[in-house]
Amino acid sequence: MQTVTTLDALRDATAQLRASGEIALVPTMGALHEGHLTLVREAAKLAPHVAVSIFVNPAQFDPNEDLDAYPRQLAEDSALLEAEGVALLWAPSAAQVYPQGFATKVSVSGVSEGLCGASRPGHFDGVATVVAKLFNQVQPEIAVFGEKDWQQLAVIRRMARDLDLTLPLADRIVGVPTVREADGLAMSSRNRYLSHNERTAAAALPREMKAAIARIMAGENVNTALNALESALIEAGFTSVDYAALADADSLELLNTAPAGPARLLVAARISSTRLIDNMPVE
Ligand code: PAF
């Protein structure tokens, strides 16, 4: 695996790889876990070369969020990627990505506005900006993201369509189903912030989401089911619930009646200062 940290070295490395086949990019912020490695394995099925980026993107963190505390473990991550047969690791510095005088922002309206967009103002501008840059830098034919960040995936697909990004084409932005722990908790780099008791309580999130989906599918009023879900999470030890919402799976428009087409239940909730998100199909 080649590790590059400058744009010049990246261009040389990607040109060399592309000469013998397509590149699938897996953008990450590092602190890799089995969920990320699943993305890498899916990417390897789609293209002969897999490139992974590791960049903890300051632009997507609010000033009072966990940017400084966000786990950084480049040596460990690098060993994991090497073992997966990744061809290229792009690990730029913040100064490389946001040089002095950087003044451009990619802002996607509509799909980025509710849910996490409402509880984390500016977050999706930061995501869209850095992902547009990563696509331009690596110029992959395919890009692979986790469905755990369902709204993020919708924002990135919208951005790629709207900006006519040729590489990767919007239909080659691939979503991979969420990888879960044995008790159902979605894998996340932030799970490591949880104490033993908090980790036990966190398992209520997927469990109560499944229960809410069953109630909605059985015909219960959607708002009643969502309120019951929020109460059950607080009862189980969550500190607060940012949102629990039923939404159209593509447009993310909120639904307050049982869905006629593909829909998702999406939740963001906090245990102390740790914010967990999850989403599941409602079917
Ligand atoms: O999902 C993530 O890890 C990040 O939001 C991403 C897509 C790498 C952009 O920084």
Among 94-103, 166-175, 233-242, 271-280, where is mean pLDDT lowest? 166-175
Task: Extract the tokens encoding 269.
Answer: 């909730």
Among 126, 147, 176, give the residue marking a domain's end.
176
Residue 195 has pLDDT above 90, yes or no: yes
**Are 203 and 131 members of one domain?**
no
pLDDT, residue 167, reads 64
User: Is the shortest distance between the CB of 125 and ligand 1 below 6 Å?
Assistant: no
**Are 33 and 65 members of one domain?**
yes
Supply the Cα-derived Rg of the chain in whole angstroms.
Answer: 19
Can you give the CATH number for the domain in which 97 is found?
3.40.50.620
| pTM given for the model | 0.96
CA distance 270 to 276: 6
pLDDT tens figures, 132-172: 999 999 999 999 999 999 999 999 999 999 998 766 665 79
Q: What is the mean pLDDT of the chain?
A: 96
Question: Reading across the β-sheet that carries 263-271, which strands appear in turn?
Answer: 240-248, 263-271, 274-281
**Are 73 and 166 members of one domain?**
yes
Residue matched to tokens 């059950």: 232
**Are 212 and 156 members of one domain?**
no
Residue 224 has pLDDT above 80, yes or no: yes
CB count within 10 Å of CB 8 equals: 8
Helix (H) or strand (E) holding 234: helix 222-236
Which residues are tagged catalytic? 36
CA of residue 257 to ligand 1 center, whole Å: 32
CA distance 223 to 254: 11
- Residue 184 maps to a domain: no
**Of the candidates 266, 211, 259, 260, which has an alpha carbon nearest to the alpha carbon of residue 235?**
211
Closest ligand 1 atom, residue 189 Cα: 3
Mutate to test the pocket of ligand 1, among 54, 66, 127, 153 (most ligand atoms within 8 A of CB): 127
User: Is the shortest distance between the CB of 131 and ligand 1 below 6 Å?
Assistant: yes
Residue nearest ligand 1's atom 6 by CA? 28
Helix, strand, coil percentages, rounded to 5, for the chain: 45, 20, 35
Mutate to test the pocket of ligand 1, among 29, 89, 97, 155 (most ligand atoms within 8 A of CB): 29
**Are 254 and 131 members of one domain?**
no
User: Is the shortest distance between the CB of 173 and ligand 1 below 6 Å?
Assistant: no
**Are 10 and 144 members of one domain?**
yes
- Residue 107 maps to a domain: yes
Among 141-145, 170-174, 254-258, 264-268, where is mean pLDDT lowest? 170-174
Q: Which residue would you say has higher pLDDT here, 176 or 168?
A: 176
CA distance 268 to 25: 27
CA of residue 61 to ligand 1 center, whole Å: 11
- Residue 62 maps to a domain: yes
- Residue 223 maps to a domain: yes
Helix axes 123-138, 150-162, angle to 10 degrees: 60
CB 44 within 8 A of CB 85: yes
pLDDT, residue 66, reads 87
- Residue 148 maps to a domain: yes
User: Is the shortest distance between the CB of 129 and ligand 1 below 6 Å?
Assistant: no
User: Is the shortest distance between the CB of 127 and ligand 1 below 6 Å?
Assistant: yes
Residue nearest ligand 1's atom 5 by CA? 127
**Are 148 and 33 members of one domain?**
yes
pLDDT, residue 168, reads 60
**Are 32 and 74 members of one domain?**
yes
**Are 171 and 231 members of one domain?**
no
**Are 153 and 225 members of one domain?**
no
pLDDT tens figures, 93-135: 999 999 999 999 999 999 999 999 999 999 999 999 999 999 9
- Average pLDDT of span 10-33: 97
**Are 111 and 30 members of one domain?**
yes
pLDDT, residue 64, reads 87
User: Is the shortest distance between the CB of 14 and ligand 1 below 6 Å?
Assistant: no
- Please give the backbone phi and psi of residue 216, each rounded to the nearest 5 degrees, phi first: -65, -45
- Residue 283 maps to a domain: no
CB 74 within 8 A of CB 53: no
Residue 252 has pLDDT above 70, yes or no: yes
CA of residue 222 to ligand 1 center, whole Å: 31
- Average pLDDT of span 262-274: 97
Distances (CA, A) of 162 to 132, 141, 156, 205: 11, 17, 10, 34
pLDDT tens figures, 54-103: 999 999 999 989 899 999 999 999 999 999 999 999 999 999 999 999 99
Domain that holds residue 41: 2-176
pLDDT, residue 46, reads 95
The number of domains in the chain is 2
**Are 73 and 200 members of one domain?**
no
- Residue 234 maps to a domain: yes
User: Is the shortest distance between the CB of 160 and ligand 1 below 6 Å?
Assistant: no
- Residue 181 maps to a domain: no
Residue 16 has pLDDT above 80, yes or no: yes
Can you give the CATH number for the domain in which 198 is found?
3.30.1300.10
CB 108 within 8 A of CB 116: no
